[in-house]
Amino acid sequence: MAYSVQTRLIALREIKVSAIALSILRMVALPAIGIGIFVLIWHLAAASIQTSLGQFPGPAEVKKQIDNLYVEHKEEKQRETAFYQRQEIRNAERQKTDPDFKPVIRPYTGKPTFVSQIFTSLNTVFTGFFLAAVVAIPLGIAIGLSASLYSAVNPVIQIFKPVSPLAWLPLVTMVVSAVYVTTDGSLPKSYVTSAITVMLCCIWPTVINTAVGVTSVSNDLVNVSRVLRLSWMQHVRKIVLPAAVPMIFTGLRLSLSTAWMVLIAAEMLAQNPGLGKFVWDEFQNGSSDSLGRIMVAVLAIGFIGFLLDRLMLTLQRYVSWDKNAITR
């Protein structure tokens, strides 16, 4: 025996330590290095791009604009407080002279800030995504179960799948204007238009993946269902759905990332007060800060898109029965 038990244990511990160190390196250090190099290249490239609105925004300019946007957000909040105070004073004065007057507190009329625009965007994207899922999953199951239905519907899907949101938008806008009559206090038309456009564009990945998932249910399971003489509903609920769930979620994940991409374009044109409108308005402003602020929005859009994708990935892993499958 060349090594004592003790040295072997130490060696084992060292291997463990170096494994941990390696994984730390992979998880933290490498991405950090990647980002670092990107920021450096960005900084250098930005310095050499001159536009008529000044230099292309580099990391420092973007940092400055993030601070600016935060300050503006806080100032807007202060204005909001002042707005409500003024309103209360006004209502109180009015009540003094006119006891029958019933004061109503009106919501703040100020501008949406960058932060509130992010929430508008998220709200819109989830509405569109939810509508898409509600239509897409049953449709996907139906065409997955019946080969003839699939052949009938498939050409339509293939034709509409590649249509850009910009092509849908004018049609959706006009239809929404004609069909959807706003009564006070309900959803604004720009929101409905954006959400429906998002839905039309992000519905297809879920339909296709659900259909594939349903078709690929193993024959053994289908036979089991036949032997047990399950009714159609039971067959769908007990056999088809559980087997197709991983594929459905793959589809939903693709749909959500499509939805997020489409949303920005839709908001720009439909004037829905989210991130898309922020980018458009800044482009129109053409001030020396505009490019920097648009860059902040670009980063925010990317980061939120990434978080949404992670969210779906987690869900996908959670519902997938094959926990060893590598999902990226």
Partner 1 sequence: MTSFKKWVRNITGALAAATLLASTNANAVGDPEKWELKFGFIKLTDMVPLAIAYEKGFFEDEGLYVTLEAQANWKVLLDRVITGELDGAHMLAGQPLGATIGFGSKADIITAFSMDLNGNAITVSNAVWNEMKKNIPVEAGKPAHPIKADALKPVIEEYKKKGKPFNLGMVFPVSTHNYELRYWLAAGGINPGLYAPEKGDTSGTIGGDVNISVTPPPQMPATLEAGTIYGYCVGEPWNQQAVFKGIGVPVITDYEIWKNNPEKVFGVTRAWAEKYPNTHIRVIKALIRAAKWLDDNNNANRPEAVKIISRPAYVGADKEVIANSMTGTFEYEKGDKRTIPDFNVFFRYNATYPYYSDAIWYLTQMRRWGQISESKPDSWYMDVAKKVYRPDIYALAAKELIAEGKMKAADFPDFASESSMKPATADFIDGIEFDGSKPNAYLAKFAIGLK
- By CB under 8 A, what part of segment 124-183 binds partner 1? 177, 182
CB 161 within 8 A of CB 189: no
Query: Which residue in 285, 306, 314, 325 binds partner 1 (CB under 8 A)?
Result: 285
Is there binding between residue 261 and partner 1 (CB under 8 A)?
A: no
Q: Using only the alpha carbons of the chain, give its radius of gyration.
A: 27
Is there binding between residue 271 and partner 1 (CB under 8 A)?
A: yes
- By CB under 8 A, what part of segment 188-217 binds partner 1? 188-190
C-alpha to C-alpha distances, 109 to 80, 89, 128, 275, nearest whole angstrom = 8, 17, 26, 19
Is there binding between residue 309 and partner 1 (CB under 8 A)?
A: no
Q: Phi and psi dihedrals of 209, rounded to 5?
A: -70, -35
Query: Which residue in 56, 126, 150, 280 binds partner 1 (CB under 8 A)?
Result: 280
Residues 6+ apart with CB under 8 A from 238: 225, 230
- By CB under 8 A, what part of segment 28-47 binds partner 1? none
Minimum separation from the CB atom of position 118 to partner 1 (A): 16
Is there binding between residue 269 and partner 1 (CB under 8 A)?
A: yes
Which is nearer to partner 1, 109 or 324 (by Cβ)? Answer: 109
Q: Mark the segment that binds partner 1 (CB under 8 A) among 35-43, 252-260, 280-288, 316-324.
A: 280-288
- Supply 153's token pair: 């519907």
Is there binding between residue 73 and partner 1 (CB under 8 A)?
A: no
d(CA 28, CA 34) in angstroms, rounded, equals 10
Query: Which residue in 281, 298, 313, 317 binds partner 1 (CB under 8 A)?
Result: 281
Is there binding between residue 74 and partner 1 (CB under 8 A)?
A: no
Is there binding between residue 98 and partner 1 (CB under 8 A)?
A: yes
Which is nearer to partner 1, 91 or 320 (by Cβ)? Answer: 91
C-alpha to C-alpha distances, 83 to 78, 79, 143, 166, nearest whole angstrom = 9, 6, 55, 38
Is there binding between residue 93 and partner 1 (CB under 8 A)?
A: yes
Q: Mark the segment that binds partner 1 (CB under 8 A) among 32-40, 91-99, 235-243, 302-310.
A: 91-99
Find where tokens 């791009």 sit.
49
The type of residue at 11 is A
Minimum separation from the CB atom of position 107 to partner 1 (A): 8
d(CA 178, CA 159) in angstroms, rounded, equals 26
Which is nearer to partner 1, 182 or 223 (by Cβ)? Answer: 182
C-alpha to C-alpha distances, 145 to 37, 125, 156, nearest whole angstrom = 50, 30, 18
Minimum separation from the CB atom of position 195 to partner 1 (A): 16
Is there binding between residue 77 and partner 1 (CB under 8 A)?
A: no
Is there binding between residue 283 and partner 1 (CB under 8 A)?
A: yes
Find where tokens 């032997």 sit.
227
Enumerate long-range contacts of 53-60, CB under 8 Å, 24 or more apart.
Answer: 53/286, 53/287, 53/288, 53/290, 53/291, 54/288, 54/291, 56/291, 57/291, 57/292, 57/294, 57/295
d(CA 84, CA 79) in angstroms, rounded, equals 9
Question: Interface with partner 1 by CB under 8 A: which residues?
Answer: 52-53, 72, 86-87, 90, 93-94, 96-98, 104, 106-107, 109-111, 177, 182, 188-190, 268-269, 271, 273, 280-290, 293
